[in-house]
Amino acid sequence: MEAGAKSRLKSGFVAILGRPNVGKSTLLNALTGEKVAIVTAKPQTTRNRIAGVVEVAHPAAQIVFLDTPGVHKPGTQLDRRMLQEVYEALETRDLVLVLIDATRRVKLADVDSQVSKARPFDKLRAGSGAPAPGSEAGSEAEPDHKKMSAWASEDEFLFSLVRKLDCPVFLVLTKIDLVKKDQLLPLIDALSGQHNFAAVIPVSARKRDGLDLLVRKIVDALPAGQRYFPKDQYTDQPMRFMVAELIRESILIETGEEVPYASAVVIERFEEPQPNAKNPLTRISAAIYCERGGQKAILIGKGGSKLKEIGAGARRKIESLVGTRVYLELHVIVEPGWRESKAFVESLDWRNQLEKLAGEQADEES
Ligand SMILES: Nc1nc2c(ncn2[C@@H]2O[C@H](COP(=O)(O)OP(=O)(O)O)[C@@H](O)[C@H]2O)c(=O)[nH]1
Ligand SMILES: [Mg+2]
């Protein structure tokens, strides 16, 4: 029985692909039932590819989802690194989910059908500047017509990536809790022409709508194989990196303008509690990098008030992640133009940080 069950196990890598803010990370978290990836209303929250592992009981399967940064036109070295993360996720995959935000496309379709009316962009404009929670946020500085053409070409780029793949691709419409059911059909019609999708599945990660069907269809499409991760492991990220991400999430929530995009977090010290400590405490020290003095001033705030808020928000989440009390020390460092520095951007990748840590430990021991 045991051996038979093993040989029937299905497993594989499923890359989650889409434009910024379509809900990739929210879907990953909903599927795993864990906070694997940070989520905010701001675009480009995710910078690295992140694995989230889902165990399915019937039929037995292990699905390794790969969350990726949103596909967008790269402007900086950081953007290029993010696109590289997308490519690397696409290299190891058995199946790809292309996510399309149902709300955004419906808005676009509305605009298209109203081009003859006097002010066709009002609907979009109403949403720009302060995007509705959960809806796709665009660059605020751009006029709407430019934003739309940028959308069109970035969508085309997304679908061009998809057409190069030789694995099954599912079209997943996200955030359907925000649209009427009858608005989905024309959208599905329009998108079906883009690729020969193996399945089309509307979901709401927030309401957990459509997720069971999605998982079932994925398992159907996966090959028989072995587990890639131990049964109880839900992500490939080391604890240190998840902690850095929670701090970055707090920065994204607490600051505005360009500060979230110009910020990076590096854990400098991570001291686990003493074994058998009565009241275990994890001591963490992290550097927040930004690009300019003005950003540093914003991150610190009057009398350190902003940094305190960032720390307090992050600490609560870190405590529930590590399961102990946490002492969190944050400081801000200006690293001019780091997003343009290939070396710095690469040093932020936890896969590179792990190598560096291993090297340092080897040095200490010798
Ligand atoms: N209403 C609604 N909002 C969602 C849903 N999924 C994601 N969002 C929101 O969309 C925004 C972007 O989500 P995120 O997962 O970070 O998108 P990503 O950039 O594609 O990873 C966040 O504000 C989410 O709360 C959903 O199913 N319904
Ligand atoms: Mg994300």
**Does residue 229 lie within any of the structural domains?**
no
| One domain for residues 205 and 263 | no
Alpha carbon nearest to ligand 1 atom 7, residue: 23
Residue list, CB under 5 A from ion ligand 2 = 24-25, 45-46
Residue 142 lies in a domain: yes
Written as tens digits, the pLDDT of the chain (366 aa) is 455 445 589 999 999 999 999 999 999 999 999 999 999 999 989 999 999 999 999 999 999 999 999 999 899 999 999 999 999 999 989 999 999 999 875 334 343 443 333 333 233 333 333 333 444 444 334 444 444 344 467 888 899 899 999 999 999 999 999 999 888 998 898 898 889 999 999 999 999 999 999 999 999 999 999 999 999 999 999 999 999 999 999 999 999 999 999 999 999 999 999 888 899 999 999 999 999 999 999 999 999 999 999 999 999 999 999 999 999 999 999 999 999 999 999 999 888 888 888 888 788 877
Rounded distance, CA 329 to CA 287, Å? 9
Tens of pLDDT, residue by residue over 48-105, are 999 999 999 999 999 999 999 999 989 999 999 999 999 999 998 999 999 999 987 5
Q: Which candidate, 255, 262, 267, 278, places its Cα nearest to that of 324? A: 278
- Domain final residue, candidates 194, 221, 248: 221
208 and 254 within one domain: no
Query: Could you give the strand order of the β-sheet that contains 61-67, starting from the edge strand earlier in sequence?
Result: 50-56, 61-67, 10-18, 95-101, 169-174, 199-202
Ligand nearest to the CA of 43: 1
Domain containing residue 295: 239-365
Nearest ligand 1 atom to the CA of 205 is: 27
Assigned domain for 145 exists? yes
Q: Are residues 194 and 272 in the same domain?
A: no
Question: pTM for this one?
Answer: 0.85
The three-point CA angle 188-193-194 to 5° equals 100
Q: Does the N-terminal peptide bond of residue 260 adopt cis geometry, omega within 30 degrees of 0?
A: no
Tokens of 217: 């269809």
Distance 67 CA to ligand 1 centre (A): 13
Which residues does a 6 A CB cutoff place in the pocket of ligand 1?
18, 20-26, 39-41, 45-46, 70, 133-134, 174-175, 177-178, 204-206
Q: Are residues 106 and 246 in the same domain?
A: no
Nearest CA to ligand 1 atom 4: 134
Is 173 found in the same domain as 28?
Answer: yes
